[in-house]
Amino acid sequence: MIADEMLAAARSPAFPPLVIGPLLVDPPLLAAPMAGFSNYAYRQVLRGFGGVGLPCTEMLSARGVLGRHARGQVPPQRLWGVREEPRPLAVQIWDNDPETLAEVGRRLAHEFQASVVDINFGCPVRDISEKARSGSYLLRWPDRIGRIVAAAAAACRPVPVTAKIRLGATRDTINAIDVAQAVEGAGGAAVTVHGRTASEFFRGKADWDEIARIRPHLARIPLVGNGDLTSAQSVVEAMRRYGVAGVMIGRAALGRPWLFRQAQAALAGQPIPPDPTPAQQQALLLEHHRLVVERFGPQRGTILMRKFACRYAQGRPAARAFRAAVAHAADAQQFAAALEQFFPH
């Protein structure tokens, strides 16, 4: 379908706000929790452009949160800004123990005033899935996932508890329907499905046909789709073709945080705003850098910003040279100089 036809289809009432328990997510566009990226500064960049219906933190180790609390330590860095920033905001946690997740979920819901507590059942990283037997490791046991969601939902009420999953552990053991039904039956308020199995990590293409197969098996809660959404048109196509109630955008927005604003316009049948000019992108990176440096200091903040800056360079001329320059930037002046060279006025 060409872009004009997609936009015409989006003018229909087929794209209402996403309803997650008592929360209305409008537009139905969610920002994925991405370890090492979805911190307070990045979330503020997304909010500045608009179009994000529900931002999310990086995923938190529930056991780690409890351990810091027991030792009288301050909350982990991944809760930076959570108390103060605008709402709505989802906070994602992981573990395999129902009581641990329930206790941390309760704290996030009632002390930090999170809008949504999301539980990760999809992370395929070995340290989490195999060593800690959490994340995607739990996909093998839908009933165990159900017990976890039930405990967390009871502890967090009335704040909704949601789950993020994958299609299954492997292509031979796809069981997303069973897992999604377990989440719904346990009192979960929504389920987000990434269209790959755990064993696939991020290889190949997300299987949206498998995501769509889940929808008829859910009686009450909305289905959110995730995977390979790289343009406003792909968001409209996913919503129109696969019957999801919302979509989650992840990696594509790291170098293009304005993607949410473009997708929002496309869903409303409006003209898609253009990408920012190179000068505007340079100013955006400098502002992002300022926010990070305020928290972590000039040296560490600049080091943390290297990966964000490199994302903006993908697909552009001289991207390799820019990445090399940014990789050696050790302070704000060197970072700004690299940007000035790559984004000439």
- Whether the CB-CB separation of 122 and 166 falls below 8 Å is answered with yes
Catalytic residue (choose from 56, 123, 156, 310): 123
123 is catalytic: yes
Residue 216 neighbours by CB under 8 Å, 6+ apart: none
Q: DSSP assignment, residue 163?
A: E
3-state secondary structure of 56: strand
Give the CA count within 13 Å in the CB-facing half-sphere of 279: 1
Nearest to 104 by CA among 73, 63, 162, 76: 63
Distance CA 336, CA 286 (A): 7
Q: How many CB atoms lie within 10 A of CB 209?
A: 10
Beta strands in the chain (DSSP E): 18-20, 23-25, 29-31, 60-61, 90-94, 116-121, 161-166, 190-194, 223-226, 246-249
Angle at 86 between CA 85 and CA 90, to 5 degrees: 85
Angle at 220 between CA 90 and CA 266, to 5 degrees: 60
* Residue 71 buriedness (CB in 10 A; 0-12 / 13-18 / 19+): exposed
3-state secondary structure of 343: coil
- Give the residue numbers marked as catalytic: 123
